[in-house]
Amino acid sequence: MENPEHGTPGVYSAKGKAFERDSRYITTRIMAEPREGTDDYPVEPGRYRLIAAMACPWANRSIIVRELLGLEDVISLGKPGPTHDQDSWTFDLDEDGVDPVLRIPRLKDAYEKRFPGYPRGITVPAIVEIATGEVVTNDFAQITEDFFFQWREHHKPDAPNLWPDDLREEMETVMERVYTEVNNGVYRCGFAGSQEAYDEAYDRLWTAMDWLEERLGERRYLMGDAITEADVRLFTTLARFDAVYHGHFKCNRQKLSEMPNLWGYARDLFQTPGFGNNTDFEQIKAHYYVVHTDLNPLSIVPKGPDLENWHTPHGRG
């Protein structure tokens, strides 16, 4: 069935099947120079609202990139709560359960405003045009790429170069492996429909984790000495690893905190402005353990682990 419970459309695997993610998105772009003959929207400060739940790793990326680039006063941010019904992400954290700018209780309302009877999952992140209340896009990978390339005129003066030209080809390869084997790999473990599917997913995940551990023994960040988009994409999975994926998704060969290079790297990012301040472990745990009743029928949220260790010195300066 369609899965509205994560940051991107997905399909829960049936018994005996491997997990497969539905990667169909609303492909509308927001462009500095809209292309003729397309449904592109124009870049315009104050016109759009990013709807992104802190609990969701895919949405969390957009929150981090927005801050790294200094777009907080250009694109407003609405935050759905960590738990929701089968129908839509909802604004549980706002007064009266209504987004204060869009004046809607459910993100689904913005999807339906533009696409009546929208057939797929109601996912975050999503960008909504404030004046019309219509969703523009939910293509999570394209959103952060466009924040960098299309909104450049509005970046803060010291914004990091998240897409360095000389590294782009290699970075695309790294990001593809991170996405397929790690970001999505933990879900393949968690929602495997058979022992065989789980075993294969587990082995693929840990092959990739070992590759990352080795790579990060030779450089501070994934692409070298500076933070790039690749680091943002990996971080949101690592931030959830010990708190959720290790136990809830059965990714339990090791804890992240038992892998020296990955653990130091994750803490290095966490302690960088834009990363740790946009990581909410309580919302993360509430989302996975409460919403995934097929994996956790009683919706009991574990009290542990102790996550204060994220603030310890990382030693990667």
Q: Which fold has domain 2-154?
A: Glutaredoxin (3.40.30)
pLDDT score at 14: 58
Residues annotated in a binding site = 89
Q: Please give the share of the chain, as a percent, with pLDDT higher than 70.
A: 95
DSSP 3-state helix, strand, coil percentages of the chain (rounded to 5)? 40, 10, 50
pLDDT score at 19: 79
Kindly give the interhelix angle for 140-149 and 229-238, rounded to the nearest 10 degrees: 140
Pairing of strands 48-51, 126-129: antiparallel
Residues annotated in a binding site for glutathione = 89
- Is residue 155 within 8 A of residue 162, CB to CB? The reply is no
- Is residue 124 within 8 A of residue 51, CB to CB? The reply is yes
pLDDT score at 3: 43
pLDDT score at 102: 98
**Taking the CA of residue 228 as centre, how many other CA atoms within 13 Å lie in the half-sphere pointing to its CB?**
21
- Copy the structure tokens of residue 28: 């509308």
Q: What is the DSSP letter of 242?
A: I
pLDDT for 169-182, tens place per residue? Answer: 999 999 999 999 99
pLDDT bin (cut points 50, 70, 90) of residue 132 is very high
pLDDT for 214-237, tens place per residue? Answer: 999 999 999 999 999 999 999 999
Q: Which fold has domain 165-311?
A: Glutathione S-transferase Yfyf (Class Pi); Chain A, domain 2 (1.20.1050)
Q: Please give the share of the chain, as a percent, with pLDDT higher than 90.
A: 90
pLDDT for 259-298, tens place per residue? Answer: 999 999 999 999 999 999 999 999 999 999 999 999 999 9
pLDDT bin (cut points 50, 70, 90) of residue 15 is low
The pTM of this model reads 0.94
Domain with CATH 3.40.30.10 in the chain: 2-154
The size of the chain, in residues, is 317
Domain with CATH 1.20.1050.10 in the chain: 165-311
Amino acid at 190: G
pLDDT bin (cut points 50, 70, 90) of residue 23 is confident
- List, by residue number, the catalytic residues: 56, 187
